[in-house]
Structure 1
């Protein structure tokens, strides 16, 4: 199941890149060059236990997420994912800074993301769009989109993304909802994702 989650994360990164680079030209910062093939690859991030109080705080982007006891977090660039005691990813928070973004462009960014997700997830993991609604992400206007993703045979899981723009940054909070019996810890994924709050 981890490979499917990593694929979802990859599709998500592609969606953000499309929005930033194509739909919103001029808003992204210059990207650093790719890795030097003569250098050894960067080490894989290591999961770290969530602090004793259960709350992970990201001071760089100003948010917090509260997880159950025994969970781990892994930071990798502008993504942080939260995994259950068996190290299975359950929740992910991605941040994507937008240089020069103004409040009047926020709705355009959200609509562009919304339009891109359905196609990218369908193409990448055969996900079917289920619904999109306007919500609030800790008081900030946002969208919540749901997708149905095949597992095996007729079984599917739900992939939920909540995304908002605050202070020139796109915040995306994602979690999965598996059928009973697939992941004993998955019942905690939605509450952990919903605990997301700005500092």
Structure 2
């Protein structure tokens, strides 16, 4: 289970780097900087800088509401949520992260250019996830994220030997903010709670 948690942490950290790579330099660069492919991505240090927030149980009705960025996610009974800056992740009863929502405000230069932002994210996800965690791109399609035009990209990520898991990220721009909704799909023998990850991610809705 520990190696699985490290894989999950790595993939979510790479995704955050991808989003920041698009936001910080704007859309002028066609090759946003990515993680060093020789150095596996790791979570930000927690001992001497910002302490890791404690997970909290989801409300009794099962729905987490983020009033800052105006969205809600419904989780199964017994799940937890953890807020850290502009990221919120949702964990199963064993405290294993299954779903994450990242919110990143766009720079003023990028606002109003939604299609280019989404296309830049799409291209950067494919490149940087391959470099960072050896993820294999499977597909990308145009979808709707609660009525907002979005993309859904699917990646296959190695676990150990021939085993792989699927990483799904859906991303949209609304009111000058990039919303990225991510979840994992593990083989059943790796995580008994993971079957609930997709429904929880798909419950995402704007307020």
> Match of 1:75, SS?
strand
1:1-199 mapped onto 2 (5 Å cutoff): 1-24=4-27, 40-100=48-108, 101-103=110-112, 105-199=113-207
Report how many residues are paired. Answer: 185
Equivalent-residue separation in structure 2 for 1:102 and 1:47 (angstroms): 33
Preserved contact between residue 7 and residue 159 of structure 2 (Cα < 8 Å) = no
Distance change >3 Å, CA 23–CA 115, structure 1 → 2: farther
Equivalent-residue separation in structure 2 for 1:24 and 1:13 (angstroms): 17
Residues 40-85 of structure 1 deviation map (CA, whole Å, 9 limit, x = unaligned): 5222110000000000000000000000000000000000000000
Preserved contact between residue 134 and residue 144 of structure 1 (Cα < 8 Å) = yes
- TM-score scaled by structure 1? 0.90
Structure 1 unaligned residues grouped into runs of 5+: 26-39
> Match of 1:190, SS?
helix
1:32 matched residue in structure 2 = none
Preserved contact between residue 23 and residue 112 of structure 1 (Cα < 8 Å) = no
Preserved contact between residue 167 and residue 183 of structure 2 (Cα < 8 Å) = yes
> Match of 1:22, SS?
coil
- TM-score scaled by structure 2? 0.87
> Match of 2:6, SS?
helix
Q: CA deviation at 1:124?
A: 0.8
Equivalent-residue separation in structure 2 for 1:156 and 1:4 (angstroms): 11
> Match of 2:24, SS?
helix
Q: CA deviation at 1:180?
A: 1.6
Preserved contact between residue 133 and residue 144 of structure 1 (Cα < 8 Å) = yes
Q: CA deviation at 1:24?
A: 2.3
Equivalent-residue separation in structure 1 for 2:162 and 2:51 (angstroms): 38
